[in-house]
């Protein structure tokens, strides 16, 4: 068979693909995340990869993102159809770049078939035409949850988010993390109170959001560019740098609120933040897992209340590993209805690839098989097949070897794939309805009756990596 | 908030999306299929949605399919970058239209990191620009497995496929089905033996593949158009119509093979078919689940040996619900190496949507939650949150109601979502560390101590639909 000449079969730049052991890790993470999401009653949805361009671009939805339009390519033998209606290429369509705009469209499409508050999770891949560098991908999977209400939505939904974040990152066991909570109304209100014009507040919040990334000096410069006075800047910097325990912070904020009774936004933000913190505590989130951080702003300008970021302690350079917040005017965009929502997002593809690189997560074995029934004598194959099926019926993942090479080679192949056990049956053993069970991890080999084999394997199985 | 004017927020034609109860059914089916695949040691992979166009079109890979190219669309505020390298649009890329070409590319990309025989499953969505009608989608999910060998691959891998098909369709409980097995070498060899030219055999097999769909008269016409004589056509029709039990069929085929010793392909096909059937039986597949059907050909011309189709009995109009076969020259296309493989595919999106319409599958409840802790007195919220967390820790999916309306409305909302239990706690119950557990299915309400609540719920839970 001739090799196809000159075909570049590598993946297009920025479109990642995983080896089996990496993909198995992703599947494990997705299962774990899903289990936590579902335990809070979030239900799965999936929106198409493709939406109408006008949906993706409505009301500036596209933001700064480069998105991918799609256009039909006819096969060589169907070029004659180009002008026909085979695939009406007339409507502009593009790949989704996030899951928030599609959520808004989904709710608009199915309004009367959904129950509110509508709590959904979505773990689809999304597409952005960014420069493929620094662990940025053009296709990546996001694990998002949002609860959306009609007209109003309890702040206790905001309080559930840190509980969910805590359970997920505890379950996947990546070390100590800290959820940093703030409320955009507090920032907006404080900016108002120091006399910053309404029209500049969103961009100022965007600048503050970069404080940790670009440092104080650069933030001061950028605020100056926005026309903020040095005195105002000083007050802002001092304010967002207030540190302390959760209770200290709440006390300080409540004190400020008291001495600024006219600062409505600020007062409302403090009240909201306190209600959220109370809920977080009532949900049993450990005190060392969350804090109030007034410098957390979230760049996206649709957030209106609670905002969250999550830092992996000792690995701050990773950036936030789970972020989100409360918004008012996002989901109702297609319906012209106020639909407040609160949500969080884990950028799983990026997170996983960075946690693997940092040695925090290990890839799994390349196969889910736990047992290989080896091929010692081909004439015993009917028995090997039967034994394999019996193990499978007991819930064990089994590869039956059809390899004609010696046992050594078969053991080697099993070991390379991370299979823990080999089952060896020769003619004598077959006659006696027995097998040798070899543990490739310890080298130990024991004789086990075929009737007890599944039970024996289950007892000896080390949870499969 | 003003309604966005004139935005058509419906899904683009042919791009389906499911309501939560449908998506939950898909998740359940995917979990079930995955469990069976993994029990045979198939390991998950996922290739990017986007490949280089030259990969998708290599060696006529595109076939008859209309595929979707992608092109970057800059946001309004970044139009100036159009000519810059922000997103190098220079290389032509398109969305994958199946998972076989990407499998070939994946193996070429990671040859030295994979273990052979390489057994992988893949359950990604693929894209085809077909007319959106008759339950055909432009985006759909396929569940594929393939085993690929280097140079050779045991026929026992072919034998495993019907065992896997049987386990999946038995587990998802959709009624009686029949796996129809054939071998392309038998057809090719028979066509040779009646004197049909080599160059016409593939197209003749393609015509025979349509026998069930278009009927005998139409098949005769089409064969005539190919220049096949009425005598040859007669012999072909008679041959593919041979019916009988598996053993009858094997006897007839072996008899034909004996009297046509010079028909090498035919003889080889019969030998392969018999080996596969023996394996299928040794794997314990019930006799009523498979047959030999000489009219099964599979239209795709890359199949070279075993082929399968699966018919849902009583619902023949659905077409094959799981198909596949053996191929030799497909996967090695980028490497110029012979890599024989065998695989099957379930077109899940289409299958599920048709099985729902036919009343064979029921959608699930719209939420995974099994319990709603209702909001009777808001001052007891700390207790409601704690009780909810205790239930979640016991593995139960819980929605805590933050609803301020009366209990009736809350029960109604729980019931609409298919939640089985409501937990009701008033001040007296709180003081006594008790709750009322209301079963919305039966209307029964029992008093349960909070310490025993999780256990009680678990015992009473009906497996969640």
Specify the pLDDT at position A51.
97
Q: Find the mean pLDDT for residues A336-342.
A: 94
Q: What is the mean pLDDT of residues B355-363?
A: 94
When pLDDT is cut at 50, 70 and 90, the band that residue A1 belongs to is very low
- How close is the nearest chain A Cα to the Cα of B294, in Å? 26
3-state secondary structure at position B422: strand
Three-state secondary-structure class, residue A375: coil
Q: Which residue has the higher pLDDT, B61 or A46?
A: A46
Summary mean pLDDT of chain B: 93
* Domains of chain B with bracketed CATH: 20-47+97-102+109-358 (3.30.930.10), 371-461 (3.40.50.800)
In this predicted structure, the answer to whether residue B176 has a pLDDT above a threshold of 50 is yes
The rounded distance, in Å, linking the Cα atoms of B377 and B365 is 28
Task: Provide, rounded to the nearest whole percent, the portion of chain A with pLDDT above 70.
Answer: 95
Do B93 and A12 lie within an 8 Å CB cutoff?
yes
Of B43, B131, B392, the CB nearest to A39: B392
Distances (CA, A) of A94 to A71, A72, A101, B127, B307: 9, 12, 13, 13, 37
Q: Do A402 and B49 touch (CB under 8 A)?
A: no
ipTM: 0.95
pLDDT of residue A64: 87
Answer whether residue A299 shows pLDDT above 80. no
Is the confidence at residue A104, as pLDDT, over 60?
Answer: yes
> The tokens 């057809």 sit on which residue?
B187
> What is the number of alpha carbons within 13 Å of residue B3 lying toward its C-beta?
10
- Can you give the pLDDT at residue A2? 47
CA distances (Å), origin A359, targets A174, A176, A352, B267, B300 = 10, 15, 11, 56, 45
Q: Binning pLDDT at 50, 70 and 90, where does residue B177 land?
A: very high
% of chain B at pLDDT higher than 90? 84
Strand B371-373, strand B421-424: pairing: parallel
pLDDT score recorded for residue B87: 54
- Written as one string, the DSSP assignment of B129-170 is -----TT--SEEEEEEEEEE-SS---HHHHHHHHHHHHHHHH
> Could you tell me which of B182, B192, B185, B183 has the C-alpha nearest to residue B235?
B192
Beta carbons within 8 Å of B226's beta carbon, 6+ residues apart: B200, B203, B204, B207
Given this model, what pLDDT does residue B327 score?
A: 94
Q: Is the pLDDT assigned to residue A3 strictly greater than 70? A: no
For residue B100, give both structure tokens: 């076989």
For A52, phi and psi rounded to 5 degrees? -60, 140
Q: How far is B289 from chain A (nearest CA, A)?
A: 17
Q: Is B255 on the interface with A (CB under 8 A)?
A: no
Report which of residues A434 and B80 the model is more confident about.
A434
Separation between Cα atoms, residue A355 and residue A358, nearest integer Å = 5
Contact A131 B86 (CB under 8 A): yes
pLDDT for residue A457 is more than 50: yes
Report CA-CA distances (Å) from B204 to B16, B127, B327. Answer: 35, 29, 18
| pLDDT greater than 80 at residue B1 | no
Determine if residue A40 is labeled as part of a ligand binding site. Answer: no
Contact B39 A68 (CB under 8 A): no
Range from A303-317, A347-361, B23-37, B197-211 carrying the lowest mean pLDDT: B197-211
* Mean pLDDT over the full length of chain A: 93
CA–CA dist A69, A218 (Å, integer): 37
Which tens digit of pLDDT belongs to each residue from B261-313?
Answer: 999 999 999 999 999 999 999 999 999 999 999 999 887 678 999 999 999 99
Q: Is the peptide bond before B117 cis (omega within 30 degrees of 0)?
A: yes
Lowest pLDDT segment from A154-158, A166-170, A225-229: A225-229
Show Cβ contacts of residue A51 under 8 Å, excluding neighbours closer than 6 positions: A93, A94, A96, A101, A102, A105, B11, B12, B15
Confidence at A85, pLDDT banded by 50, 70, 90:
very low
Closest Cβ opposite residue B368 in set A43, A63, A73: A43
Most confident of A122-131, A205-214, B406-415: B406-415
Kind and range of the H or E run holding A118: strand A118-122
Residue A360 has pLDDT above 60, yes or no: yes
Q: Would you place residue A84 in the very low, low, confident or very high pLDDT band (cuts 50, 70, 90)?
A: low
Is A247 annotated to bind ligand? no
* Minimum CA–CA partner of B78 in chain A: A64
Rounded Cα gap, residues A109 and A121, in angstroms: 17
Q: Is A76 on the interface with B (CB under 8 A)?
A: yes
Q: A80 and chain B: CB distance < 8 Å anywhere?
A: no
**Does the structure show a pLDDT above 60 at B83?**
no
CB count within 10 Å of CB A109 equals 17
Q: Please indicate if the annotation marks A99 as binding a ligand.
A: yes
Chains A, B: CB contacts within 8 A come to 340
Alpha carbon separation from A462 to A372, A412, A439, A441, B38 (Å, rounded): 15, 19, 10, 10, 17
Longest Cα separation, chain A: 92
Distance from CA of A220 to the nearest CA of B (A): 25
- Ramachandran sector of residue A324 (left: φ over 0; alpha: ψ -120 to 50; beta: rest): left
Cβ–Cβ contacts within 10 Å for residue B33, how many?
22
Provide the pLDDT for residue B2: 47
pTM metric for this prediction: 0.95
The residue of chain B nearest to residue A2, with distances taken between CA atoms, is B336
Q: Which pLDDT does position A74 carry in this prediction?
A: 92
**pLDDT tens sequence across A408-453:** 999 999 999 999 999 999 999 999 999 999 999 999 999 999 999 9
- Asked whether residue B92 carries a pLDDT value surpassing 70, the answer given is yes
Q: Smallest CA–CA separation between A22 and chain B, in Å? A: 9
d(CA B138, CA B68): 10
Inspect the interface and report whether the beta carbons of A63 and B47 lie closer than 8 Å: no
pLDDT of residue B464: 63
| Interatomic CA distance for residues A316 and A319, integer angstroms | 6
Which of the two residues, B321 and B89, has the higher pLDDT score? B321
């Amino acid at each position: 068979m001739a090799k196809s000449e000159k075909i570049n079969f590598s993946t297009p730049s920025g479109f990642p693909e995983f080896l089996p052991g990496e993909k198995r890790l992703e599947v494990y993470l997705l299962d774990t995340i899903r289990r936590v999401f579902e335990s809070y009653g979030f239900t799965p949805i999936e929106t198409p990869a493709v939406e109408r361009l006008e949906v993706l671009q409505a009301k500036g939805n596209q933001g700064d993102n480069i998105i991918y339009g799609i256009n039909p390519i006819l096969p060589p033998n169907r070029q004659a159809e180009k002008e026909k209606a085979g695939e009406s290429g007339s409507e502009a369509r593009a790949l989704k770049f996030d899951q928030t705009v599609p959520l808004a469209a989904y709710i608009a499409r199915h309004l009367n078939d959904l129950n509110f508050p509508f709590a959904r999770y979505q773990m689809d891949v999304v597409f952005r035409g960014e420069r493929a560098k620094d662990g940025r991908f053009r296709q990546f999977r996001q694990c998002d949850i949002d609860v959306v209400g009609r007209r109003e939505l309890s702040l206790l939904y905001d309080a559930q988010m840190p509980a969910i974040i805590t359970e997920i990152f505890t379950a996947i066991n990546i070390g100590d993390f800290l959820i940093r909570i703030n409320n955009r109304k507090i920032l907006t209100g404080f900016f108002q109170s120091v006399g910053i014009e309404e029209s500049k507040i969103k961009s100022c919040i965007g600048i503050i959001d970069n404080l940790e990334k670009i440092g104080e000096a650069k933030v001061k410069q950028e605020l100056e560019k926005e026309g903020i006075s040095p005195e105002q800047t000083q007050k802002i910097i001092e304010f967002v740098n207030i540190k302390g325990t959760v209770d200290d912070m709440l006390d300080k904020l409540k004190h400020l609120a008291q001495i600024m009774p006219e600062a409505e936004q600020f007062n409302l933000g403090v009240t909201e933040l306190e209600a959220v913190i109370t809920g977080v505590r009532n949900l049993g989130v450990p005190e060392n897992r969350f804090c109030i951080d007034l410098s957390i702003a979230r760049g996206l300008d649709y957030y209106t209340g609670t905002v969250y970021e999550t830092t992996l302690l000792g690995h701050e350079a990773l950036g936030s590993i789970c972020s989100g917040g409360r918004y008012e005017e996002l989901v109702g965009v297609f319906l012209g209805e106020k639909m407040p929502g609160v949500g969080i997002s884990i950028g799983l593809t990026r997170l996983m690839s960075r946690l693997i690189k940092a040695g925090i997560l290990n890839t799994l074995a390349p196969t889910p098989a736990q047992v290989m029934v080896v091929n010692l004598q081909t004439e015993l194959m009917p028995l090997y097949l039967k034994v394999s099926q019996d193990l499978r019926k007991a819930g064990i993942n089994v590869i039956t070897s059809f390899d004609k090479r010696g046992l050594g080679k078969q053991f080697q192949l099993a070991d390379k794939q991370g299979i823990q056990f080999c089952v060896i049956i020769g003619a004598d053993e077959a006659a006696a309805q027995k097998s040798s069970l070899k543990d490739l991890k310890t080298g130990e080999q024991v004789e086990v009756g075929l009737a007890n084999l599944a039970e024996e394997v289950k007892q000896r199985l080390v949870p499969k990596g």
